[in-house]
Amino acid sequence: MQIDSSFTFVLFGGTGDLSMRKILPALFEAHRAGGMLADSGKIVAVARHASDRADYIRWVNEHVKSHVSKNGVDETAWASFLARIEFINIDLSKAEDFVQLREVIEGLPGIRVFYLATGPSLFVPICRALASVGLNENARIVLEKPLGYDLKSSNAINDAVGEIFTEEQIYRIDHYLGKEPVQNLLALRFGNALFEPLWRREWVESIQITIAEELGVEARGDFYDNTGALRDMVQNHLLQLLSIVAMEPPHSMDSDSVRDEKLRVLRALKPIDPRDIGKVAVRGQYHSGVIRGNAVPAYATEPGVKPDSSTETFVALKVEIENWRWAGVPFFLRTGKRLADRVAEIVVNFRAVPHSALGASALRAGANRLVIRLQPNETIRLYCLAKQPGEGMNLASVHLDLAFDQFFREGQMEAYQRLLLDVINGRLALFVRRDEQEAAWRWVEPILNEWKASIKPPKPYASGTWGPAASSAMLAQHGTCWLEEEN
């Protein structure tokens, strides 16, 4: 992935957690790899928690190094990376301070990328301040989630930003779309005649998409208590993964062709009748428990969380897509905190053979399935049945692995690294278009509103488990179960 032109990467929130853990490590890995970042490219960090460049570099040395290469840091590459970094201390709430920013970057070459690693309340003020000093031309703006609290607030932010930047300049980032297995899912489906004919209602029994975390809300209690799992994970990450799994083959892999097909999926989601939410949606909240031998507290006792909070930390949904390819196929979405394991995966359960001369094992659910693991290890595994060695026709489940680190010698690219390079290169396919975002909010809002009005609290679940029992019961009604329950 070669970048031919130079760039100026302006990082707002330059001392924030996201910048330290993800953005700067991703830029360093691209720099270290050689040939990915133009030699003349510059990084300009904007923050208030450092006084000058020397102070900021000390901060980066202290907080970023531990998040870069697992095999240690090449000090020569690290020193040359730090040489790319400039720093400016300005007050983001004061538009007049942006004159200083213009003075710093106006002499730097190439496309300007403004990455807003800040709270969403600062998105519009920053964009307006950039426009006030003429920095919205020859520029791209990257917006982190959450982009709004509901459809109305999301539209308000998009309207305001859209007055300053064109849609082609706006990159709404969802890092799950940059993960290697998600890209390989597209290759698997659209590059192989083997899978595409099977990728439909006639051959697929159900699909599960799970994003589970062992961690609780950590130091984000105040933010999370006003957000919840439905807004934080379902409206963006899970619905984006669903649209990738279910989309029709695009005309090409250009940005609008891919996003047009994703949008069609989001618009085909069956609206959830508020009267049916209890049947197709489960919300839960973690209580105290034990994870890997360590006692962890209940959500309601976490710092920043209201003691009587009804915010959900777990969501499970049954989703249907009303089109010819997927009619009648249930999609089960699940996400939660303080669960039994940290895992993100997509499970495609194919239908059993219609008749088996080989015994009942060939007719069992899940005999044939595809598991796309996004984290912690990125793999794609195809399960099928084979004869066990020995006497008789006894079948056993076997699997074929696509383990990327074994098949490809070159190292895998982290999601943020890929997405940041795409921003600099002007590739929009892996970023969320406004109409996609609106369609996702429109589908989620009835659930949000019903839960807000409900007097029933979230269902409790012990930390270190897989969530409320109602989640498993919902799948049992359809004759299936979550993958870990079968194993």
Predicted confidence (pLDDT) per residue in 59-95, tens digit:
999 999 888 876 678 899 999 999 999 999 998 888 8
> In the chain, pLDDT over 90 holds for what percent of residues?
70
Answer yes or no: do 140 and 189 share one domain.
Answer: no
Q: Is residue 11 in some structural domain?
A: yes
DSSP H or E segment with residue 339 = none
Beta bridge partners of 402: 380
pTM comes to 0.92
- Statement: residue 2 has pLDDT above 60: no
How confident is the prediction for the chain on average, in pLDDT? 91
Q: What residue numbers does the annotated binding site for substrate cover?
A: 175, 179, 213, 232, 337
Q: Is residue 426 in some structural domain?
A: no
Average of pLDDT values for 473-481?
94
391 CB-near residues (< 8 Å, 6+ apart): none
Answer yes or no: do 206 and 70 share one domain.
Answer: no
Identify which of 465, 162, 463, 207 has the alpha carbon closest to the alpha carbon of residue 331.
207
Q: What are phi and psi of 129, to 5 degrees?
A: -65, -40
Q: What residue numbers does the annotated binding site cover?
A: 48, 91-92, 145, 175, 179, 213, 232, 337
Cα gap 44→234, rounded to integer Å: 33
Average of pLDDT values for 140-165?
94
Token digits of residue 420: 């940041």
Q: What residue numbers does the annotated binding site for NADP(+) cover?
A: 48, 91-92, 145
Give the pLDDT of residue 309.
95
- DSSP labels, 74-116: -HHHHHHHHTTEEEE---TT-GGGHHHHHHHHTTS-SEEEEEE
Exposed e or buried b for every residue in 13-39, given b needs 16+ CB within 10 A?
Answer: bbbbebbbebbbbbbbbbbbeeebbbe
Q: How confident is the model at residue 33 (pLDDT cuts 50, 70, 90)?
A: confident
CA contacts within 13 A on the Cβ side of 473: 8
Q: Domains in the chain: how many in total?
A: 2
* CATH number of residue 215's parent domain: 3.30.360.10
Give the pLDDT of residue 360.
64
Give the pLDDT of residue 408.
65
Q: Is the peptide bond before 376 cis (omega within 30 degrees of 0)?
A: yes
* CATH number of residue 132's parent domain: 3.40.50.720
Average of pLDDT values for 410-414?
74
Give the pLDDT of residue 3.
45
User: pLDDT: is 192 or 209 the higher one?
Assistant: 209
Q: What confidence tens digit (pLDDT) does each residue in 281-308 have?
A: 999 999 999 999 899 999 999 999 999 9
101 CB-near residues (< 8 Å, 6+ apart): 10, 44, 46, 88, 90, 133, 135
Q: Is residue 106 in some structural domain?
A: yes
Domain enclosing residue 69, as ranges: 7-144
Integer angstrom CA distances of residue 342 from 182, 283, 371, 376, 391: 18, 19, 16, 7, 40
Give the pLDDT of residue 245.
96
Q: What confidence tens digit (pLDDT) does each residue in 257-283 have?
A: 999 999 999 999 999 998 899 999 999
Cα gap 352→195, rounded to integer Å: 16
Answer yes or no: do 128 and 246 share one domain.
Answer: no
Give the pLDDT of residue 340.
96
Token digits of residue 66: 């531990």
Give the pLDDT of residue 365.
61
Q: Is residue 149 in some structural domain?
A: no
Active site residues: 237
Cβ-based burial of 361 (10 A; exposed 0-12, middle 13-18, buried ≥19) = middle
Q: Is residue 160 in some structural domain?
A: no
